[in-house]
Amino acid sequence: MRKLLFEIAYRGDRYHGYQVQKNARTVAETLQDAIEAVFKRREGIVGCSRTDTGVHANQYFFHMLTESAIPERAAVTALNNALPDDIAVLDCREVPLEFHARYSVAAKEYLYKIWDAPVRSPFLEGLALHNRRRLDEALLDRCAQEFLGTHDFIGFCSAGGKMHDTVRTIYQTSVARTGDLVEFRVLGSGFLYNMVRIMVGTLLLADLGRLKEGDVTRILASRDRKQAGVTASPAGLYLNRVIYQNGALGGRSEKETESDKGNSL
C-alpha cells in the first residue's frame, strides 16, 4: 500500500466548493472521476482543507491510498489529461503512511484580491472582488495588523461552522496595492468558517468611513459577529499556501519551513 500526496491548483468559480456534495459539482468529485479513469478504481481522497463555493486555490494538497504502482510523474501527466482545464495537478510524491494531508498542516496562507477601479476588469470576472471606489490600502494594512496574535475569532465566523474551539493564531497579515489590484494576505494556524471573507468585509468598512485604527481590536474583543463587516464575495479568495510540519514532506517541506522561520510557527 502506498500513500500518494498530490499538489493541485484550481479555479473554484464553476464548483460548489471542494468537498463532495449531493446534487452539486465539486472539486473533489471531479478529482475522483479523473482518478477512477487513471487508476481504474475510485480511490478515496483526503484534502488539506475545505473551500467553499467559488473559492480558488493556488496551492492545495490531498492524499490517497493506493496499491497502484504507477510512477508519480506518470500520475501527474495522466491526471492532467483527464481533468478539466480549471484544475491542474502540480506534483505527486509518495509520503509515509502516518502523514495526513489535513492534520499534518502547520499553517495556511489565504490571499484575497480586490480590483479597485471604477470599471470592472473582464479578465478578473469571478477571480476578484470589484470595488468601484479607491481604497486607502495603507489604512487597511494598519487595521489588518490588529488581527496579529492569538484571539478568539468567534465574531469573525459565520453561522453553520462546526468548530467548537474558535481561538486562532495569526502570524502575518498585509494589504498591498499593485496598480488597481489590492491584495490582502493572511497567514495563520487555522481559519474558521468564512473567517477570511469576514476579515475582508470588516476591512472594507474603512471604504465607508466606518472603520478606523483600533476598531478591529475592539470588534475582536466584543466576540460579536454583528459588529464585524459583511461576508465578502468568494470570488476574490484563494487558498494560497499550505505549510506542513517540519520534515513531513522531506526536502521540499524543509525548504518551505526554512523560508518561514520568521513566522514563529
Residue 79 has pLDDT above 70, yes or no: yes
- Out of 13, 52, 85, 116, the active site residue is 52
- Per cent of the chain over pLDDT 70 is 91
Least reliable range by pLDDT among 26-30, 55-59, 157-161, 181-185: 157-161
Given this model, what pLDDT does residue 209 score? 85
Instruction: Give me the mean pLDDT over the 103-126 stretch.
Output: 96
Residue 237 has pLDDT above 70, yes or no: yes
CA distance 155 to 198: 9
CATH of domain 105-239: 3.30.70.660
Class of the CATH domain delimited by 2-103: alpha beta
Instruction: Give me the mean pLDDT over the 137-156 stretch.
Output: 97
Number of residues written out for the chain: 265
Please, where in the chain does CATH 3.30.70.660 lie?
105-239
Instruction: Report residue 114 as a C-alpha cell.
Output: 480586490
Instruction: Give me the mean pLDDT over the 131-154 stretch.
Output: 96
If phi > 0 it is left, if psi is from -120 to 50 it is alpha, else beta; for residue 17 that is left
CA distance 66 to 178: 44
- The C-alpha torsion from 243 through 200 and 52 to 95, rounded to 10°, is 0
pLDDT digits (tens, 9 = 90+) for 207-222: 888 899 999 999 999 9
Given this model, what pLDDT does residue 255 score? 41
Number of CB atoms found within 10 A of residue 81's CB: 11
Instruction: Give me the mean pLDDT over the 104-118 stretch.
Output: 96
Instruction: Report residue 250 as a C-alpha cell.
Output: 522531506
Q: Is 33 a catalytic residue?
A: no
Given this model, what pLDDT does residue 22 score? 83
Closest CA to 150 of 130, 136, 171, 165: 171
Residue 260 has pLDDT above 50, yes or no: no
Given this model, what pLDDT does residue 161 score? 58
Please, where in the chain does CATH 3.30.70.580 lie?
2-103
Residue 127 has pLDDT above 90, yes or no: yes
Instruction: Give me the mean pLDDT over the 13-33 stretch.
Output: 92
8 Å CB contact between 228 and 219: yes
Residue 250 has pLDDT above 80, yes or no: no
CA distance 151 to 160: 20
Enumerate residues 6+ apart whose C-beta is below 8 A from 214.
Answer: 146
Q: What confidence category does residue 162 fall into, taking pLDDT thresholds of 50, 70 and 90?
A: low
Given this model, what pLDDT does residue 208 score? 83
Residue 258 has pLDDT above 70, yes or no: no
